[in-house]
A and B are shown apart, each in its own frame.
Chain A
Amino acid sequence: MAYALTLFTLVALPFAAALVIALVANGSRALHSGIAAAASAAGLILLASMAGPVIGGAVPSATVSWVPTLGLDLTLMVDALGLMFAGLILGIGLLVVIFGHFYLYKGEATGRFFASLMLFQGAMLGIVLAGNVLLLLVFWELTSLSSFLLIGFWQHKAEGRQGARMALAVTGGGGLALIGGMVLLGLAAGSFDLATILERGAQVQASPLYPVLLGLILIGCFTKSAQFPFHFWLPHAMAAPTPVSAYLHSATMVKAGVFLLARLWPVLAGTEAYTVIVSSVGLITMVFAATVALFRHDLKSILAYSTISQLGLLVMLLGFSLEMAALAAVLHILNHAAFKAALFMVAGIVDHETGTRDIRRLGGLAKAMPVTALIATLAAASMAGLPPMGGFISKELMLYETPNIALFGLPWLVPLLATVGATFSVGYSLRLAWHLFFGQPRKAEPHERAHDPSVGMWAPSALLTALAVLLGLVPMLLAGPLVGAVTGAVIGGAAPEFDLALWHGVNLALILSMIAVAGGVLLLWRHAGLLRAWDSIAHSDAKRMFETTLAFADIWVRKAIVAVHTPSLQRMLLMTFGVVVAFIIDGALEGGGAITGVQPGIPASAPAIVAWALMIAATAAVVNDSRQRFRVLIYISVIGLVVSLAFVRFSAPDLALTQISVEVVTILLLLLALNLLPKAPPLISSSPRKWRDGALATAGGVLIGGLAWAMLTRGAGETISAFHLANSKPGGGGTNVVNVILVDFRAFDTLGEIIVLGIAGLAIFALLDSAARGSAGARLARWQEDMPHSPESHPMMFVMASRIALPLTLTVGIYLFLRGHNQPGGGFIAALVVAIAFLLQYLAAGYDWTDRRRRFSEHRMIAWGVLVAMATGLGAMAFGAPFLTSTFEYFTLPLIGTFELASAMLFDTGVFLTVLGAVLLALAQLSHISQRAARAYAEGLDAETGEPDDAAQGVAP
């Protein structure tokens, strides 16, 4: 655990940098790139502090338990493989940040750019350092998402958006497959801990799940690493700014798939299925993409296809399931990262300085930009695999291994195709350098302004190219120990004996290599003729195929949704109620027995029977008269009143108080809403439909009523309520058990409830606040007074009475709040009462008058309410008790006597504030909208008749 802090800091750094950059998004370009560069450099230093022991074989790791029941832990570990990738991610990341600083123009959204870049860097680091496969998946998805932001950085460009979407669809879709594969892998290995899984290769390969998990994991790797047939997203991702391409396609994004193949090599590799699938997919990709790259004209497109081809090479090497091939792959990962990042930066420089990336318009640039030409030519030579570059050694190693593998029983197949692929690689690499920098300029215009860029822009690529050269000249010195250690980490044992050198004597690999170089030169020489031949063949357009597939899927998904999820609320509700009724019938038939239980009932008093009859009649009236909307509100309030009385009768004073105050607020709300809604629209349901709904409603009513009857005629049996009653006073410090349950025993529920209520209030505000615009606004402006109104809209008596009532009602509210812990009352009820007091002012004096005198903001009240409630809960944690544990103490003051202060009271204050804020926000906003419509209408009338109309002007002074 010695490195725990280092590891967590290492992964957290880029995320922190992303956050900081986003917070200063309006700052300067230098500030943004400076933060990003500092974070990358600090990460490199942290990594370097662990490099020695890791190469020596230590595997520092750190674990924080996250969801232990799922096997999900925050485990980070760094072995040599992780070290190498983390080094590439941070090192090339730092260079890309420097390059990006000069590449982007000052006016661009550099804050967003570098924040996304750091987010991506953090996600990549997470992948390579994750020690738990579930955690790895989280970071894997995060790379898909953050690369989406990077590829689509230029949001105004259609191809940027399309490319980003395609990359997300393909890599995100592969990510889904990978989730399935990794979970199965964890099940097969019996653990989600990576180190444990790596030791259980035999167990996994013997598992019946192996073929399925292999397939799913490979889909994840192949989509990410752009292997055929999932390769098509990568060229379209070139719509990204060039620094992004340099980063994503050299050392990071696309290498994630290769990394995972290498990571899981000890577990997955070695079987027949693995070898055949992985090496043939890699082989096909390598040859196919190398061929395409030869005939592309956009610099970045050439590099894109060459990247796909090189990735194919890496995948093939890992697919061989041979230790030396794994070693070749490790070395080539280093080589490729160096020369490909350099070449992408060169493409960016050329684009930046000449204004074009079309290789047909460029040529002979070596005279105008000699430094760039030197860098690019050396990097391209490494890509071609020419001596004395690093690329030559890794290609030699690759060709040396090819005869050891016989696909489909044909021993010559792999060497032949690998040589073909290598030939095309030489071809496109030479063409890139030759057509760009040598020969005659093809078009004059780009050359007139071409010149070498500033040092800051070419230095990163120069550094990378120097690395690519040194990897060829002094490979053992520079990379020997690292490559050995990484290979050991990949194969899960000691690395085989190896010697990296340019000259190994004349062997088959050298001969194949020479054939490839000769063939490549031939391809360049004959390029014009080959290009004509290539252009004459019809090529399928992957993008169009992708879009057709997507459109097809879209149509069918829509159809499927409509089929199972009808867009008609009526039909949906009918089905829901029907299913519920069917379930109850089924349950009743299954359960059997008598409906009526044995518990004797309590005889009802005469007033209760009258109230019951009133309620039944009111319900019938609501149903029967639902068209007369204002009248219905009276019936509804009758029902609410009877329900409140029932609560009084059945020993529930808190509920009665809540119900009656909610009733008032609800009716006010419905009244206000009805003002703007149709008052009595014609009924539209057909007769058969009414009968059908009536039958279902009757069935539902009888069944639920019967259920209630069956429940009420049986005893409750043992419940947990005895605990609440026994502990309310000694444990919660209150005698009102209902309130103690709300603010103490089940305070977490209550916290959730007030948050929901706060959200409802805010959502209502949003719905109404934006109603003044668009077609809703137009309809509001056309609103007409359609109800007979009293000539005086704010009667003096009412106004005065409500003003006198205000302080009285507030006092009652405070009283109800304060006594709530021991007597009926509490935050909910007090808030409703206080809300009614304020709403009365709106009602009596008008919105404008009241709003001008309002001293508080409902939004803040909601926010403070939730914060206070949460802070109370967290306060308990500060004292080492679980969240929302309450405490209380008795105090004595002269005059007042002994009184109690409970932390639950503070929580109840939060409840009070949230409920009050939400209720006021909803109703005040609604009355605001209504009154605005009324005023607009009144002004319209004034203009017509010329009569003064103070209907909407508020109370007369």
Chain B
Amino acid sequence: MTYEFLVASAIGVLVAGGIYLALRARTFQVVLGLTLFSYAVNLFLFASGRLVLNRPPIWDKAVTEYTDPLPQALVLTAIVITFGMTAFVVILALRSFLETGSDHVDGDNVPCDGDDGEAGRGE
């Protein structure tokens, strides 16, 4: 097993999970799907600089070989923006649930209280 295989397969699995969850009907699942998808995209972007061990892009007189810093810079902002996007989508989902009483992505009227959700309410 090489690191390349581990990273490539992890990206594949995250994408598959992300697509599947993004296609679900409830907003929270879609948020989870987007989160998985974002991990995959960030890893992919990062991997475009190739995998390099123990050569961080910190300049030093004694060092001549570094990993590619540019994808790292792009991914760094991408991670922060991912947070902004996730936060916005979660709050949008929350507001639409509060507004309509439904957490269906298309606003369809669906039951929102499962067995477990009901459990704490008996008191």
Contact = CB atoms under 8 A, between A and B. Distances in A.
A681 interface: yes
A750 B7 CA distance: 27
A652 B51 contact: no
Interface string A875-895: 000000000000000000000
A354 interface: no
Contacts of A729: 59
Tier of interface size on chain B = 35 or more
B87 A760 contact: yes
Given A721-B68, A761-B84, A764-B88, A705 B9 contact: yes
Contacts of B99: 774-776, 779
Nearest to B56: A651
Given A677-B93, A702-B12, A626 B29 contact: yes
Nearest to A705: B12
A780 interface: yes
A750 B52 CA distance: 25
A604 B1 contact: yes
A698 B20 CA distance: 8
B10 A716 contact: no
Nearest to B27: A677
A655 B6 contact: no
B120 A696 contact: no
A540 interface: no
A569 interface: yes
A769 B35 CA distance: 25
B77 A828 contact: yes
Contact of B23 (A577, A654, A787, A926): A577
A681 B88 CA distance: 22
Given A697-B17, A771-B98, A780-B98, A786 B120 contact: yes
B54 to A, nearest CB: 6
Secondary structure type dominating chain A contacts: helix
A719 B40 CA distance: 23
Given A609-B1, A662-B79, A681-B112, A651 B23 contact: no
Contacts of B115: 680, 682
Contacts of A652: 46, 56, 67, 72, 75
B106 A569 contact: yes
Interface in B1-50: 1-32, 35-36, 39-40, 42-44, 46-50
A736 B20 CA distance: 39
B47 A712 contact: yes
A608 B9 CA distance: 13
Contacts of B51: 602, 650, 712
A780 B5 CA distance: 48
Interface string A692-717: 01101110111011111101110110
Interface string A649-684: 111111100110010011001100110111111101
B16 to A, nearest CB: 3
Contact of A612 (B10, B12, B36): B10
Given A711-B47, A729-B59, A824-B58, A757 B20 contact: no
Given A662-B79, A696-B23, A654 B10 contact: no
A679 B17 contact: no
A570 B39 CA distance: 21
Interface in A734-791: 735-738, 741-742, 746, 749-750, 753, 756-757, 760-761, 763-764, 767-768, 771, 774-776, 779-780, 784-788
Interface of A: 567-570, 573-574, 577, 601-604, 608-609, 612, 615-616, 619-620, 622-623, 626-629, 632, 636, 639-640, 643, 646-647, 649-655, 658-659, 662, 665-666, 669-670, 673-674, 676-682, 684-685, 693-694, 696-698, 700-702, 704-709, 711-713, 715-716, 719-721, 724-725, 728-729, 735-738, 741-742, 746, 749-750, 753, 756-757, 760-761, 763-764, 767-768, 771, 774-776, 779-780, 784-788, 822-824, 828, 832, 915, 918-919, 922, 926
CB-CB nearest 9 A-B residue pairs: A705-B12, A701-B16, A601-B2, A697-B20, A709-B8, A776-B98, A741-B73, A760-B84, A697-B19
16 contacts: A573-B23, A601-B2, A615-B10, A643-B43, A651-B55, A662-B82, A676-B97, A678-B112, A696-B19, A697-B19, A697-B20, A701-B13, A712-B8, A756-B81, A767-B95, A822-B58
Interface of B: 1-32, 35-36, 39-40, 42-44, 46-60, 66-70, 72-73, 75-77, 79-88, 90-95, 97-101, 103-106, 110-121
